[in-house]
Chain A
Amino acid sequence: MAQKLDTAQMHKYWTKTSRLMWTIFALWIFFSFVAPLFAVQLNTIKFLGFPLGFYMAAQGSLLAFVVLCVWNAISQNKIDEEFGVQED
């Protein structure tokens, strides 16, 4: 049974949740904006038969997004259980 958290616990819970959010947010920025920033340079490298810059924008970053979403679901569920605020 999930109970209501007191202010201190709520604060702790939200700090942990926010930290996870910001970590994933930073990685999201990296794969969305920073990695493709160097597409011209990366394109000179071959990866699996693809120019790497093209590969990242067409496949690499996309894979990273899927992993980030799965990671978020798993880690946040763990945080919820740690604080006992998961649903019944």
Chain B
Amino acid sequence: MKCPRCVQVIHRGASLCPHCGFGIAEMDARHGGDNVSLRRLADVAGLMRSRERGKVQSALDGFCRRFPQMFFAVYTGSAQGGGNLRQFGFWLLNRAAFEDVPVDRPNEAGILLVIDPESKSATLTWGYHLDPFLTEEDTFVCLSRAHAYFLEGRFAEGTVVLVEQLGKILRKRAAQARRDPERFERKVAAPPRTGEIARRIREGHRQSPVKTTEVIP
């Protein structure tokens, strides 16, 4: 878990980044705190042709079919209010209200791809439900697959490739989670409190019997 601004590791449940003090309030101040109405495919920058949009849309629908709890959304446009692309992705997934996503799939189960044609960069952001199952490395692999297409301006094809790659990773994770759900639960479980640690230590002490030695006068 990292801060979207300073990309430093932060602890679970941190209300602000302990390193740079970043929080969503900062982004709300830039972009607004109200919900933003969007569709899953929001080609605001107009990077895709209408026929290509159909292909991307069907790829997004396929993702939704295979993963009935989740959805994948694409936003193309620049973060005009300032901040880097990670911060913008973080803000957008928290503030977006997706019109074409059923209510049983909240944003916690969403994955958002943001493509910024101005800074020529792309990023992935995901909701809390996916925290145990996705890593930054996974998203890097997906983006690397799409990189060649993005480089040539074939954004639709790149997006479809990215969605397919992410689907492969998630299929694997779903199978692993079915076999060993605790492994993933541990990743997001709340850290033990300080008193709990002390109690464990005391219990440990109690369990080990004290050896008594006889002293012969």
Are these two chains actual partners, yes or no? Answer: no
On A, residues with C-beta under 8 Å from B are: none
On B, residues with C-beta under 8 Å from A are: none
